Amino acid sequence: MSQYQVTSREETYTIYELTEPGTDSRVQVCPERGGIVIGCQLHGLELFYLDRETFENKTANIRGGNPILFPISGQLENRSYTWNGQTYEMANHGVARTAAWEVVGTNTEGEASITLLLRSDETTKQSFPFDFELIFTYALKDGELHTRQQYRNLTADQAMPFYAGFHPYFNVDSKKLSYHTDATRYLDYNDMIEKPFEGVFDLEGLVESVTLLDTKKSEISFPVAGGATVRLSYSDIFKYMVLWSVNGKPFVCVEPWMAMNSELNRQEELVMLEPNGTLDANLTISCQR
């Protein structure tokens, strides 16, 4: 058996599966539903929560997996923003998570990987008036999932504002978890008060998210169901870490974002990608049992 494999199968959608038998790891990707990873089994343990009903319903926002957030992370005030004097409406977390991505290649040499492409079109331009191209490669290697990202501004005459992120849902046994991070403060969106962070947080009973504000190291680790510890490491451009859950559901979301909620309204910490410019970033998910 090869060290790495990439296969596909037809369900409600086409599912691509990356496998690494030597580490008992597999990753499932659905290009049609926002280029999302819906399953992430590392060293024999499934890390991601997935509500299959929302996944299979083409009109529903997927509750689970690891949705891609672009060009915004989070919400906008009144679901709209103004740019160059014109007002645009945009749904929560942007346009990429509801778009169909194109498969441009797979690889089994040295890793199991799949590369996906999303280009702007008339639908995306109704909400985000820029020509862009996203190239994401999901790579499974040594029992780790790497998400290599390339953001390209194809607009020739103006910089493109954005703040991308991820929204991974992790299976947990408890909402009260110890997070290994160097953050010392967080913003509680339930009461909009900034508070000290002391390493342990309980999301039980909270409706809104909290955001870790002052991380210096681009990594965080925490326990998940099955007795494992998950570690996220990511590029420095992801400056904020968002924690969120839903009461009665066995998951927590630990989300690296480039900027905070409603940033396209404030326009103070936007990533401004120059015309014809490219930004590369990475997110790595690993676990220890």
Encode pLDDT of 165-219 as tens digits.
999 999 999 999 999 999 999 999 999 999 999 999 999 999 999 999 999 999 9
Residue with tokens 């290599």: 148
* Amino acid letter for position 85: G
pTM: 0.97
Residue with tokens 């992120």: 165
Among 211, 278, 274, CA closest to 242: 211
Q: What is the pLDDT of residue 98?
A: 95
- What is the C-alpha to C-alpha distance for residues 283 and 146, in angstroms, rounded to an integer? 6
Q: Is the pLDDT of residue 1 over 90?
A: no
Q: Judge residue 58's burial from the number of C-beta atoms within 10 Å of its C-beta, 0-12 exposed, 13-18 middle, 19 or more buried.
A: exposed
Encode pLDDT of 185-198 as tens digits.
999 999 999 999 99
DSSP-assigned letters across all residues of 34-93: TTEEEEEEETTEE-B-B-HHHHH-TTSPP-BSB-EEBS-SS--GGGEEEETTEEEE--TT
